[in-house]
Chains A and B, each alone.
Chain A
C-alpha cells in the first residue's frame, strides 16, 4: 500500500489540471503578494508568497486555518506576473476546493457558504437568482450592515434591477441528467 501523500503532494494533485508550473519552483520573490490588491490592503492573514512557502514546508494545519484563498477575488494579476510561471490564482481555487471537500472551512467565513449555496441553486434551476444567494450571507451580517444591504436592494428594486421571480432553463430535466452523469447528485427536489 502506498504511503499517505504529504500535504505538498496533495496540493500538487489538486493542481493537476492547471497548466502552471509546480509550487517548488517558487523562489519567494514576493511579486504575487505585492501585486495582490487584497494582500497589499492588509486583509489576508498570510500573503500568497507565505502560503506557497507554508505548503512547501508542509505546514498543513496553518494553511487550512488561513483566510488567504477565501479572500482571493480571482483577478489573476499574480498569475500573469509570476516570473516562475506558477498559476497562483488557480492555486487559490485548488485550496478552496481542498477545504470544501474536507469540510475544513473556517467558522464565520462567508465564501464557502456562498459558493455552496450558488452551486445548489444552479443544480436546481440552471440559472442564478440573487434573492436565494442573499440567504447565504444575510444572517452573518451585523444589524447596521443588514440595513445597508436592505437599502441597496430597495434602491435596485425601485430601478427595476432585481428579479422578482427566479429564472429557469427550459430543458431542465435534461440539464439535471447531464449533471448526474458527472456527479451522482441526489435529486434536489426529492
Chain B
C-alpha cells in the first residue's frame, strides 16, 4: 500500500472540507493511505512571503522536516501550500547555509530538514504516481456525457519547476477523460482566479472570475473541476457576487476533481462532501447516477 504524509492545509479543515473528504475516500479506493502530517502548521500562504521570506521558509521547513520524521513524501491538495512547500524545499537544497540557519531554529522543536521528503500535489499523485490506467480500473460509473472544464489555475504549474512546458499541460484533461467525462477545450484553463485579491482587491478578482465563468459557459461546460480550494471558493462562493456586479446569470457548479473521480468510482455523494456547495451540483450528481456501466 502506498503511503504519503498528507498536508491538508488550513482551507481543508473547514471551508474546503469536501476536498478533504473526497481526497481521502478516492485515495482509499486506490489503496493509497494519506497519513496526516503530525501537528502541521500553516504554510504561510502568500501573506508570509509579503512580509518576511525567512519566516515563510521556516514555516514550510517545519512541515517538511516533520514529513521526513514520518519517512514519507508529502502530498498537498492545495496549490498554494504545494507551491510554498515545493519552492522552500528547492530553495533550501540550493542554499545549504540558509538550511543550516533554519535547522538551528527547528532544533527547538526537535526537527531537522534534510530534503529527503519530496513534495507532491494531489493531482500529480493521481496522474503520475498512481497512473491513469489504475484510476480507470476503479471506475464503475463513468461520467459519460458530462462536459467538464478542467481548471488548472496557477500554482500547480507555475513557477516552472524544471524544463516542463507549462503552457501546454494536458494531464487534467486526460484524468477527466479517464473517468469517462468529456473535457472541454477551456481556453482560460491556465489563467488566474484572482487568488487572495478577492479580499484585497475585490473588483479585480471578480472580473477575473467573470472571465473564467464566461469562457467555461461559452464552451458548454456543465461543471468546472478545480484542484485548489482558493480557486473553488472564488469561482463558486463569489459567483453570486459576479452576477450582481456584472448583471450576468451564471449558475455553474464548481467541484473538486476528487469529487468527480469519487462519483465515477461509485462513492456516495455525501461521502464526497457533495451538498455543501453554494451553487448546486445536483445536475452533475444526477448525470453521474443515470449512467451505470
Residues of A whose CB lies within 8 Å of any CB of B are: 17, 19, 37-38, 41, 43, 70-71, 73-77, 79-80, 87, 89, 93, 96-97, 100, 109-112, 114-116, 118-119, 122, 126-130, 133, 137, 145, 148, 152, 155-156, 159-163, 167, 169-171, 174-175, 177-183
Does A161 lie within 8 Å of B17, measured CB to CB?
yes
Q: Indicate if B171 sits at the interface (CB-CB under 8 A).
A: no
CB distance from A118 to the nearest CB of B (A): 4
Find A75's partner among B51, B95, B195, B240 (CB 8 Å cutoff). B195
Which residues of B are found within 8 Å of A155, using beta-carbon distances?
Answer: 237, 278
Distance, CA A126 to CA B88, complexed state (A)? 18
Q: Do B208 and A178 have beta carbons less than 8 Å apart?
A: no
Please report B residues at the A interface, Cβ cutoff 8 Å: 10-11, 13-17, 39-42, 44-55, 58-59, 62, 91, 94-95, 101-102, 104-110, 154-155, 158-160, 166-167, 190-192, 194-197, 199-205, 207-208, 211, 237-238, 240-241, 244, 276-278
The 10 closest A-B pairs by CB, nearest first: A75-B192, A118-B47, A76-B158, A128-B10, A181-B105, A177-B108, A174-B109, A115-B47, A43-B204, A75-B154
User: What residues of chain B lie closer than 8 Å to A19, measured between beta carbons?
Assistant: 94
**In the complex, which residues of chain A have a beta carbon less than 8 angstroms from the beta carbon of B203?**
43
- Picked from A87, A100, A169, the residue with its CB within 8 Å of the CB of B159 is A87
Question: What does DSSP make chain B's interface, helix, strand, loop or mixed?
Answer: helix
Check A127–B158 contact: CB distance below 8 A: no
Contact A100/B50 with A110-B200, A156-B15, A181-B104 known, Cβ cut-off 8 Å: yes
Closest chain B residue to A14 by CB distance? Answer: B53
Q: Interface SS of chain A: helix, strand, loop or mixed?
A: helix
Residues of the A chain whose Cβ atoms lie less than 8 Å from the Cβ of B55: 119, 179, 182-183
* A100: chain B residues within 8 A (beta carbon): 50-51
Select the residue from B15, B41, B44 with max chain A CB neighbours within 10 A: B41
Partner pick for A111 among B41, B190, B201, B238, CB 8 A cutoff: B201
Query: Known pairs A70-B200, A111-B201. 13 more at Cβ < 8 A?
Result: A70-B201, A73-B204, A75-B191, A77-B158, A77-B190, A80-B160, A116-B47, A119-B52, A127-B13, A128-B10, A155-B237, A182-B58, A183-B52
**Is B59 touching A122 in the complex (CB atoms < 8 A)?**
yes
* Contact for A179 among B13, B95, B105, B201, CB less than 8 A: B105
Which residues in A have their C-beta under 8 angstroms from that of B192?
Answer: 37-38, 73, 75, 77
Q: Are B109 and A177 in contact (CB under 8 A)?
A: yes
A-chain residues with CB within 8 Å of residue B277 when the two chains form the complex = 159
The answer on a CB contact under 8 Å between A175 and B102 is no
Assembly CA distance A37 to B205 (angstroms): 10
Return B185 CB to nearest CB of chain A, in Å.
Answer: 19
